[in-house]
Structures are given as structure tokens and as C-alpha cells.
Amino acid sequence: MITIFDFLFGQYKDYSTLHIILELIATIFGIFSVVYSKKNNILVYPTGLISTAIYVYLLFKWHLYGDLIINAYYFYMSIYGWLLWSRKDNTNHDLLKITMMTASDRTKSAVIFLGSIIGVSIVYIYFNKFTYWWAYIDTFITGLFFVGMWLMAKRKIENWLFLIAGDIIAIPLFFLKGYTLTSILNIVLTIIAIFGYLSWKRALQNEKLT
């Protein structure tokens, strides 16, 4: 009889110990990153850099190029967001406040979404990855995550909606690909992201009152 443990983690029997440890470390730092994001704390970015750097390496080894592109983009956006969030005014307060998307933001988000789908599709065609059914879903998820990370760097509250949607879709997808730890990570990220959205929403309302 197949146990629950075997069902969830049986695929790891063929993995190297190094890759399992690295995925676990990346998972832990990924959780830290989202927790700090929920708290609107700049530590979201250094913790995110560690997680995404490890995932870029692992995903390259696993030949999951769509997910690799997402994490490489995360790595870049973590540096970009870190720089934006670090800016202070003369009284040492953050220059970049939590705000809602503008019409310009929506236009740019649409361009980022479509551009990322086209870009990932080109990579998948080149590597002949559209032979896998999940490749089509990957292109859509990539668009969601690209927009979500860009909006987070801009401290736009709607970033959470894109990230939540992407995480929910990614939960079963990573499990079916054979990466249970990352699937579990996305469950945790989804829960934290929901609370993150509510926390940012309260902060935005308080900001308007003052």
C-alpha cells in the first residue's frame, strides 16, 4: 500500500541529496521573503534573492526553463525593488508608499504580461517543451508572476492578486512535475499572500486617513 509520504515525496528517491537540501533551503527563504513582504519590510528582497538564486540553479538542472525564467526575473526584480524600497526622504521615511494601480500601471502590466508569454513561448519552442501539457500553463503563470513582481517593486497593492492567482495554479503544477517541496511552498505562499493583501489594504486605508 502506498503511504501518504510515498505519494508526496516518492519522486525524491532519484534526486541527489544536494538538490533536496538546496530545494529545502530555497523553500524556507521563499517563505521568509513573502512573510517580510506581508509586513511591508524591505527584507523581502535579500531573502528573495537567496531563494531565487538557488531556484535558478535547480531549475536549470531540472530543465524547467519556464520556471527558470520566472525565478531569474524574480532575481532581477528583487534587486530593482530593493533599490526602490531603499529610497528615503529627508526625514528618513520611505519615498515609495503603498498605492493602487493607475491607468498607466495597467497598460504597462498588460505589456509585461503579453511580453512574458511571448518570450517564454519562444524559449519553449526552441527547446521543444510544448510536448508537455504543463508548458502551456507555464506561459500563463509566467505572465501573472512577471506582473505581480513588477507591481510589488512599485509597492502597488494589486501585486498580491497576481501573485495569489499564480501561486494557486502553481500548487498542483509543481506537484505533478515532481517537486513536492516547491508545491508545499506555494500553498504556504498563497496563505501568506492573502494575509499580505489584507495587511497592505489596511495600511493603504490608514495612509488615506492621515
Q: Which residue has the cell 517541496?
A: 181
Q: What's residue 2's pLDDT?
A: 57
Q: What's residue 194's pLDDT?
A: 95
Q: Is residue 137 part of a domain?
A: yes
3-state secondary structure of 91: coil
Select from 158, 165, 166 the least CA-distant residue to 200.
158
Q: What's residue 1's pLDDT?
A: 44
How far is CA 119 from each of CA 64, 112, 114, 138, 145, rounded to the nearest angstrom? 15, 10, 9, 12, 14
Mean pLDDT by 10 residues, the chain (210 residues): 58 78 91 93 95 93 82 92 92 89 97 94 87 87 94 97 95 85 87 95 85
Q: Is residue 181 part of a domain?
A: yes
pTM of this prediction?
A: 0.87
Domain that holds residue 64: 12-88+99-209
**Grid coordinates belonging to 130:** 510544448
- Please count the other Cβ atoms lying within 10 Å of the Cβ belonging to residue 43: 15
Q: Are 105 and 156 in contact, with CB atoms under 8 Å apart?
A: yes
Q: Is residue 129 part of a domain?
A: yes
Domain count, the chain: 1
**Grid coordinates belonging to 144:** 501573472
Q: What's residue 180's pLDDT?
A: 82
Q: What's residue 210's pLDDT?
A: 66
Q: Is residue 5 part of a domain?
A: no
Q: Is residue 167 part of a domain?
A: yes
Q: What's residue 202's pLDDT?
A: 94
3-state secondary structure of 43: coil
Partnered with residue 97 across adjacent β-strands are none
**Grid coordinates belonging to 34:** 513573502
The per-residue DSSP string of 48-75 comes to HHHHHHHHHHHHHHTT-HHHHHHHHHHH
Q: Is residue 52 part of a domain?
A: yes
Q: What's residue 191's pLDDT?
A: 94
Q: Is residue 6 part of a domain?
A: no
Q: Is residue 37 part of a domain?
A: yes
Q: What's residue 8's pLDDT?
A: 56
Q: Are 73 and 146 in contact, with CB atoms under 8 Å apart?
A: yes
